[in-house]
Structure 1
Amino acid sequence: MTALPYGGTLVNRVLSDAARREILAGIDDRKTIAIDTQGALDAEKIAIGAFSPLTGFMGEADYSGVLARSRLKNGLTWTIPIILAPRIAENPGLGDIHVGDSPVLLYHGEPIAVLHVEEKFPFDKTEFARRVYGTTEDAHPDVKKLRNAGDTIFSGPIDLINRVSGADELTPEETRKEFDRRGWETVVAFQTRNPPHVAHEYIQRCALEQVDGLFIHPVVGELKKDDFPAEAVIESYQYLVDHYYPKSRVFLAPLAISMRYAGPRAAVFLAIIRKNYGCTHFIVGRDIAGVGNYYDPYGAHALFRNLDLGIEAMLFRESYYCRKCRSMVTEKTCGHPESDHSRVSMTQIRKMIVAGEQPPIEVMRPELADLLVKYRPYLEAGLK
């Protein structure tokens, strides 16, 4: 039996075939709002229950509560506002959409959802950046992206017309059924946006010793430009699962969301999502969901110690290879000096692959490094 969804109920706002046909038949008579990738993926995740208990884009009470107290108005912990602030440049008729309207949301010109507008309120982007990301600097990728948002937030329930993610992405209902089919009562989720290196593998194996199954759930929807492409992440993890892990105990599936690089706040949000997908445990490593030097690398550890989300956080210190120990270690298990340690960040690995260099074998499996070489042109473009 998998864990209960966050808030107790798994939301389903996906239209039936009959309702979908009815909406599409009358679409020419409906008002529309053009939305970006983040808005489209958020609408989808609300509808399939990944963001349960949300049933739509946040109203002002929820939005203000999340900014100020990391709480929804019902008292549940929530750390990342899920809002819709469409750009006026793509929506010259935006001022004609009022409370009580039910416009169709368009993504790349295609209808994906209906928004039942319950509120409209001003969007203070500077305050959002300061509260959520802890900075107003445009050097932070999400703050820079925020500048392109509109100045008005539209809130209300949504009904999904069409999925926007790939056919290989499973819904929370589907992963829960898969966990039950496998007989897993305890499932640990591993959040990642990168291909696996040896330290990731070490943490995953440590966690897997304590639970029935490991759910590797990479974010593939919308990442910053210098991250590995989604194809590289999925392909490398599939190789790891196929060649090194017991297939009966590890399950891999993508998660198409816009990555929020908000450090500890994002870590909590990502854990809530995995609870909705049926996980009982969540791995929290060093600098999870961080970017640059904006966040305390272990700030999420401190935050999770004071929260009860209904999903158990597995807290791991940074792991690395020690040449004296001749094994993977952490500061808790190794007393040798820094000079004996091999630590290479994912940023360094990306740069090494672009330069045609092979990462050290104690950092990344050679066959995985070889697999990633074909993504060099993508990385070169992102690092410019």
Structure 2
Amino acid sequence: LRLKGEPFAVLDIEEIYEINPEEVATRTFGTPENNPEVVKVPFDKKHPGWVIYRSMNPIILAGKYTIINEPKLRPPFDRFWYPPRKAREEFDKRGWRTVINHQTRNVPHVGHEMLMKTAAFTGDVEPCHGILVNAIIGVKRRGDYPDEAIVEGHEMVHLAGYIKPERHMVSICLWDMRYGNPLESILHGIIRQNMGCTHHMFGRDHAAVGEYYDMYATQILWTKGIPSFGFPKPVNEVPYGLQIKPQNMKEFWYCPRCGEIAYSDCCNHAKEKQKFSGSFVRGMVAEGVFPPKVIFRPEVYKVIVKWWKKFGYPFCNEEYVKKKEEELEVDLPHMEI
């Protein structure tokens, strides 16, 4: 196996079989007819993950692989790279017995910060010792924040003291999102459990794009199960299920009546709420307008500006996406075979 033209790993082929890509896509993402609990509308070519699965090579090679030429992460990603063993060692070093994961694909606004702070109050006999931000780094869509701004924006949350550095840690996950909502959340749970996390927060529209799924599809899976997807009980309650525990969260908004960031299940002023809209914040950033402090921490905004100056635009554009797909986040040493 090669990566960027260099030898990367050896695959010991144990099995070769053929699949029907259309059937795999249908069973993975679901249909309104087969999975009425959570699928709202049929998938189409606007859904990137569904298209990827339908376009897969039908010939599958399976077996064990051995990495022979380990990739080296480029700055700034190198300091956020924590494979499972390294992550567990870091948790032990910090004395974290319970750790809750926060998955993200965005630069954090104050709503994200409040989600982390509030979800971390779960645990066992005390709140979770640590909050692990595990940012999804991979193929980007035009209009997304650059990966560099995402990881350094989250790092700034603790560098600026909004969450204590002793309780907050930023890492990356090299994964191209499939936007498979409930079933993809199982993969996310496996990854974070392997890293040593004891809890995983799931918000509205987890791993979702568009309006294909119920906005709380992932939470339905982790609290009730989805029989049509083969889970009569929650993921962590079925035989051989995951051990990581879900912390399902709803919405945070700014309430002018309460004068604070409020949680939807606590605040009774829904008609007056001011939602944290990612598109609204992006609109302000694109116009060069400094978002209000109640929405965006100024230190985090400065991280966006830093990478804006480097790339010439605050969001991913054609040039960034093309360069990203060509160069990736890694370098491999030259190896002769």
Change (3 A) 1:342 1:180: same
User: How much has 1:261 moved relative to structure 2?
Assistant: 1.1
**Paired residue for 1:341?**
273
| 1:378 to partner: Cα distance | 5.7
Q: Displacement of 1:331 after TM fit?
A: 2.2
**1:192 to 2:104 alignment:** yes
- Name structure 2 gaps, 5 residues minimum: 31-41, 122-126, 224-233, 237-241, 322-337
Residue identity in the other structure for 1:116:
D
Task: Give the aligned length.
Answer: 279
Residue equivalent to 2:253: 320
Instruction: Tell me the residue number matched to 2:12.
Output: 116
Instruction: Decide whether aligned partners of structure 1 residues 195 and 109 sit closer, same or farther in structure 2, where only a CA change above 3 A counts.
Output: same
TM-score (norm 2): 0.77
- Secondary structure of the equivalent of 1:379? coil
Using the alignment, how far apart are the partners of 1:133 and 1:345 within structure 2? Answer: 26
Equivalent position of 2:202 in the other structure? 284
1:130 maps to which of 19, 23, 26: 26
- Structure 1 residues 157-189: Cα deviation after superposition (integer angstroms, max 9, x where no partner): 111112336133121111101111111111111
Which region of structure 1 is more displaced relative to structure 2, 150-159 or 122-131?
Answer: 122-131
- Deviation sequence 1:84-116 (CA, Å, 0-9, x none): xxxxxxxxxxxxxxxxxxxxx112211111111
Letter paired with 2:130: G
Mapped to 1, the partners of 2:70 and 2:279 lie a distance apart of 32
Identity %: 32
TM-fit CA distance, 1:272: 1.4
Per-residue CA shift, 1:241-294, capped at 9, x if unaligned? 111221111121222222221112112211111000001011111111111112
Structure 1 pair 351/118, CA: closer, same or farther in 2 (3 Å)? farther
Alignment of 1:1-384 (within 5 A): 105-134=1-30, 135-146=42-53, 148-164=55-71, 166=73, 167-168=78-79, 169-209=81-121, 210-243=127-160, 244-305=162-223, 306-308=234-236, 309-338=242-271, 340-373=272-305, 374-375=307-308, 377=313, 379=315, 381=317
Task: Please state whether the residue corresponding to 1:116 is helix, strand or coil.
Answer: strand
Which runs of 5 or more structure 1 residues have no equivalent in the other structure?
1-104
Given that residues 190 and 217 in structure 1 are in contact (C-alpha distance below 8 angstroms), is that contact kept between their aligned partners in structure 2? yes
Q: Is the 8 A contact 2:106 2:145 kept in 1?
A: yes
Contact 1:165 1:256 (8 Å CA) reproduced: no
Q: For the residues of structure 2 that align with 1:112 and 1:353, how far apart are their CA atoms?
A: 39
Other-structure match for 1:8: none
Q: Secondary structure at the match of 2:172?
A: coil
Relative contact order higher in (CA < 8 Å, ≥ 6 apart): 2
Q: CA deviation at 1:136?
A: 4.1
Question: Normalization by structure 1: what TM-score?
Answer: 0.68
